[in-house]
Structure 1
Amino acid sequence: MLKGMIRGVVVMLLISLALGVVHDKDLVWKQEKDRVTGLPGLTFDVNFSHYSGYVRVNENPGRFLFYWFFEAVEDPSSNPLVLWLQGELFSRTWVFLHRIREAVEIGPFHINADGKTLYLNPYSWNQVANIIFLESPVGTGFSYSRSPSDVEENGDERTAKDSLAFLLEWFERFPQYKGREFYITGESYAGHYIPQLSQAIDSDLMKLEDIVLNVDRSVMQVGNALTDDFNDHKGVREYLWSNGFISDQTYKLYKIFCSEDSFLQRSENCKKISDVVQNELGKVDIYSIFTPYCTSTTTDISFASNSPQRKFGQINETYDPCSKNYAAAYFNVPEVQKALHVDPEAAPHKWEICNRLIFNTWKDSASSVLDIYLELIRGGLRIWIYSGDADTVIPVTSTRCNIDTLNLPIASPWHPWSMDGQVGGWNQEYRGLNFVTIRGAGHMVPQTRPKEALVLFKSFLSGTPLPTMPTLADTDV
């Protein structure tokens, strides 16, 4: 390991000097301090570098955001830089998911069902881009504040400010990525984080003048995203009712009691009818309605050897509903935390899937970010919105209601796109926005349809249309 670290320092120094961006040993040391030189359970060689550690985003009381950065497999010096953000829904309330779990889902490593070993993800997004996974807001994952009570002051506004501060500091630590095409992507509650951060960047371009935001191509991509409380509620009830998941009476009561409610703050009547909805749905995976439900209720991976879910963990193209259990087991291994440079004194001693304290104390959540979308589109930013059509949390109907509210001119007709000779989903372009659905995908599209998600991601980065297939009119019937 020591030889590998020394070799890494030498290689980084030579590359940096050749590029003319790193001239002092302190900067090289800061990068090398974050280099991950080995991971427990990693039994295969990788041909890319990855880094993890902390970036301080304010002085008082001192908030530190944790990140995990993967360089592109090929040509990291010219491939774009992508920031992945994630927020998550759990049951009928918002919670905040630990982002490094996502790093082992769209990133190069997947966790086996034993919760101890890793295998290579054939559909990793770092095949075509350099990717930063950021644990924000403070209190999620291994991100922390020196004042514990500071975690109770989170909200949309502070999250955007802290994420912008992270970017400014991160680019100072990795200046070789300045001037790179820069994209922001993510899903779920990132439907707030991404446009709000994009707006913050757009209003602070003087500080970010070295970051290229190429407005002639896509710079922002969001999936199954919370966007507008009214439209999102409307889309949920329409999806549940039209698919036969809830009764006519419950559909009508849901419409009466929940239409005006926020996803974060619900009235008592809305909570009661939401319980009825849950009972009528039964024990299903609300994130992926047509796939098996995880029967395990524990994060202890001792169940893995005899659980009926174990067979999913080894099949790369099949959604495993218990994957969160494997992540919880893996990231609680002390050797894993040490390898990722987690500060045992500052970070939580136990890694958990979600932090309910953040949800319970969240200070501000915009009821709608549609106004930000219009502002960004008018400013020249091109946006992609995608939606898995097997999600009941923020279903495709919610996304379509939101897009319809934007009232954008249509640039191309609704049409299917192709995946291995089959319909991968459907696509419609508007002026300033491209809308894509992924057939059979759940709330976490890259997890439930990884191959299709990679095709979508490649098209998003290149700014090229998704592959099309012949329609019935083009074929003999």
Structure 2
Amino acid sequence: MKASLIFLSLLCLVGCVQCYGGRGYDPLGKLLKKRQTRKSAYHLAEDVSTEYSPVYLAPQDGLKEADKITMLPGQLNVSFDQYSGYVTVDPGAGRALFYYLTEAEDPSGKPLVLWLNGGPGCSSIGSGAMTELGPFRVNPDGKTLWYNKDAWNNVANILFLESPAGVGFSYSNRSSDYITGDKQTAADSYAFLVNWLERFPEYKSQDFYIAGESYAGHYVPQLADLILHELVFQIGNAYIDYIDRWMGTFDHFWTSALISDETHEGIVANCNFSTEGSVSQACEDYQDKAYVEKGGVYIYDIYAPLCGSSSSAPSQISNFDPCSDDYVFTYLNAPEVQKALHADRTGVPVQWEDCNDAINIDWQDQPDTVLPVINKLMASGIRVWIYSGDTDGIIHVTTTRHSMAKLGAPVKTPWYPWYSQGEVGGYIVGYQNVTFVTIRGAGHFVPSYQPERALTFFSSFIEGKLPPGQN
């Protein structure tokens, strides 16, 4: 494989998971809150690059043709191909991961991008494909689709993977597999890629990227570390460092005028997030006060309306419908949709969920920081982009800026505004082997809220250049 890039989109960090708005899920928030009380020392991501060998490899003859999607229910006619199905990663356990591929109109001339949603425990198809960067979004009727003109398969072939097993349509016949963590997720994703490329061998000679969001801030660097000599990557709104996330949270709340001066000062004076389990009672009290003061804003986009509220029409800032995840839930649970996607493996409809709360609660190994892994990838010559929507309230632009300083890279291209459709799309600063990009007016799910701006900066990344400044 000619591999030129890994694109890690922690848009939810961002990305992950559009599901939170209408159905009440907040997996990343739950995971972070749970970890505040865990009695363990701050620890680094381990080197996973040599731990999972040999990799299971099975014959894939004829499976590509069986996976081709004829037409999705309610879909408009398009001039690109789609595929979906299961790839076995452990035959002994009966563990298989589900994918959905949306090719570009000229697939042979475009790179392959693997997209991972985070959570952990949330679906890349329901979120990434159906509410963010995929070619189709679901109408309010839950039965028909509308075309997303700013889909990322305009410039690349996008491979959406539901990972780990137990997320979305992915499954295992061994129930203990649903208690998992970072290492197993990386190993299974790698096994998926090896087998998928046997099923689609034409992509072995094309450039390869990995993209993700939110908790994929862990998934992407660790998967990249398994294939270190093959890839480079980008990260956006990513959860990559425990300490920076908590320090950045309350700084961002304060600078966004969501909490009072007094509460912010109390947190600064009483909170030490450097060691898990060491948070004082005074610190907890001030944190609780902060969450009361900010009120019922949608934490993944602090300026967006809530689904079900009296103002639940699409946001005036982003024009994104806050109930989109409800429409996707209805659509992906329709028997005819599951049949078209080849997801009905037993011939009986399955219950699809956008996020698996049980997997999130039982998540095992999880380093506090993956910054050393990112530094390792940068030192190897891999090109890294880290991007952040500036209205995200869960993995804030402030958090990401704290982490950028820890990477210690010198500035090569000073901060400047970049443009999309004649307007400032955000801001950018180029460092040695790492670039930081903001997307103006975007929350945790950047392609959902600002699709044109997201496509502009993603296209620049694919082309190997910085987003355009003002002409």
Alpha-carbon distance change, 329 to 316 in structure 1, aligned in 2, over 3 angstroms: farther
Contact 1:142 1:348 in 2 (8 A): no
Q: TM-score, normalised by structure 2?
A: 0.82
Question: Pick from 257, 262, 274: which aligns with 1:260?
Answer: 274
Q: How many residues end up aligned between the 2 structures? A: 409
Distance 1:36 1:323 in 2: 23
Give the structure 2 partner of residue 32 of structure 1. Answer: 65
Contact 2:390 2:442 in 1 (8 A): yes
Distance 1:195 1:136 in 2: 15
Q: How far 1:257 moved relative to its partner?
A: 4.4
Question: Pick from 170, 186, 211: which aligns with 2:212?
Answer: 186
Q: How far 1:189 moved relative to its partner?
A: 0.6
Distance 2:257 2:336 in 1: 47
Q: How far 1:276 moved relative to its partner?
A: 3.4
Contact 1:229 1:261 in 2 (8 A): no
Give the structure 2 partner of residue 295 of structure 1. Answer: 308
Distance 2:465 2:184 in 1: 35
Q: How far 1:344 moved relative to its partner?
A: 5.0
Give the structure 1 partner of residue 298 of structure 2. Answer: 285
Give the structure 1 partner of residue 201 of structure 2. Answer: 175
Give the structure 1 partner of residue 121 of structure 2. Answer: 96
Answering whether residue 237 of structure 2 is matched by residue 242 of structure 1, we say: no
Question: Pick from 169, 174, 187: which aligns with 1:142?
Answer: 169
Give the structure 2 partner of residue 216 of structure 1. Answer: none
Give the structure 2 partner of residue 450 of structure 1. Answer: 451
Contact 2:97 2:169 in 1 (8 A): yes
Distance 1:271 1:331 in 2: 40
- SS of residue in 2 equivalent to 1:386: strand
Give the structure 2 partner of residue 7 of structure 1. Answer: none
Q: How far 1:253 moved relative to its partner?
A: 4.8
Contact 1:143 1:347 in 2 (8 A): no
Structure 1, 238-247 or 251-260: larger mean CA deviation: 251-260
Structure 1, 239-248 or 172-181: larger mean CA deviation: 239-248
Q: How far 1:39 moved relative to its partner?
A: 1.2
Q: How far 1:320 moved relative to its partner?
A: 1.7
Q: How far 1:268 moved relative to its partner?
A: 9.1
Alpha-carbon distance change, 387 to 106 in structure 1, aligned in 2, over 3 angstroms: same
Question: Pick from 209, 228, 242: which aligns with 2:241?
Answer: 228
1:121-165 C-alpha deviation (Å, 9 max, x unpaired): 01000011111000011111011011122201x101111111111
Give the structure 1 partner of residue 34 of structure 2. Answer: none
Q: How far 1:456 moved relative to its partner?
A: 0.6
Give the structure 1 partner of residue 141 of structure 2. Answer: 114
Distance 1:360 1:348 in 2: 26
Q: How far 1:345 moved relative to its partner?
A: 4.0
How much identity, in percent, do the aligned residues show?
A: 46
Counterpart amino acid of 2:364?
K
Q: How far 1:116 moved relative to its partner?
A: 1.3
Let me know the Cα RMSD of the aligned residues: 2.3
Give the structure 2 partner of residue 197 of structure 1. Answer: 223
Alpha-carbon distance change, 245 to 335 in structure 1, aligned in 2, over 3 angstroms: same
Q: How far 1:308 moved relative to its partner?
A: 5.3
Question: Pick from 99, 109, 112: which aligns with 1:81?
Answer: 112
Give the structure 1 partner of residue 372 of structure 2. Answer: 371
Query: Superposed, which structure 2 residues align to 1:298-447 within 5 Å?
Result: 309=312, 311-312=313-314, 318-343=319-344, 345=346, 349-447=350-448
1:72-126 C-alpha deviation (Å, 9 max, x unpaired): 12x10121010011113xxxxxx52211011122110011111111010010000
Contact 2:68 2:84 in 1 (8 A): yes
- SS of residue in 2 equivalent to 1:413: strand
Contact 2:335 2:349 in 1 (8 A): no
Alpha-carbon distance change, 288 to 317 in structure 1, aligned in 2, over 3 angstroms: closer
- SS of residue in 2 equivalent to 1:414: strand
Alpha-carbon distance change, 55 to 259 in structure 1, aligned in 2, over 3 angstroms: same
Alpha-carbon distance change, 409 to 451 in structure 1, aligned in 2, over 3 angstroms: same
Distance 2:406 2:317 in 1: 37
Distance 1:439 1:100 in 2: 25
Alpha-carbon distance change, 312 to 376 in structure 1, aligned in 2, over 3 angstroms: same
Give the structure 1 partner of residue 80 of structure 2. Answer: 48
Contact 2:234 2:383 in 1 (8 A): no
1:237-273 C-alpha deviation (Å, 9 max, x unpaired): 10001222113343345453462366xx896957665
**5+ long unaligned stretches in structure 2:** 1-58
Q: TM-score, normalised by structure 1?
A: 0.81
The structure whose Rg is larger is: 1
- SS of residue in 2 equivalent to 1:312: coil
Contact 1:80 1:130 in 2 (8 A): yes
Contact 1:317 1:451 in 2 (8 A): no
Counterpart amino acid of 1:100?
I
Alpha-carbon distance change, 187 to 137 in structure 1, aligned in 2, over 3 angstroms: same
Q: How far 1:295 moved relative to its partner?
A: 2.1
Q: How far 1:348 moved relative to its partner?
A: 8.3
- SS of residue in 2 equivalent to 1:145: coil
Give the structure 2 partner of residue 60 of structure 1. Answer: 92
Counterpart amino acid of 1:108?
P
Distance 1:326 1:180 in 2: 35
Structure 1, 414-423 or 440-449: larger mean CA deviation: 414-423
1:306-347 C-alpha deviation (Å, 9 max, x unpaired): x853x539x996122111111111111111111111135499
Contact 1:141 1:352 in 2 (8 A): yes
Distance 1:287 1:279 in 2: 17
Alpha-carbon distance change, 326 to 28 in structure 1, aligned in 2, over 3 angstroms: same
Contact 1:121 1:316 in 2 (8 A): no
Q: How far 1:230 moved relative to its partner?
A: 0.4
Answering whether residue 165 of structure 2 is matched by residue 132 of structure 1, we say: no
Give the structure 1 partner of residue 189 of structure 2. Answer: 163
Distance 1:346 1:221 in 2: 39
Structure 1, 175-184 or 53-62: larger mean CA deviation: 53-62
Distance 1:257 1:352 in 2: 36
Alpha-carbon distance change, 390 to 347 in structure 1, aligned in 2, over 3 angstroms: farther
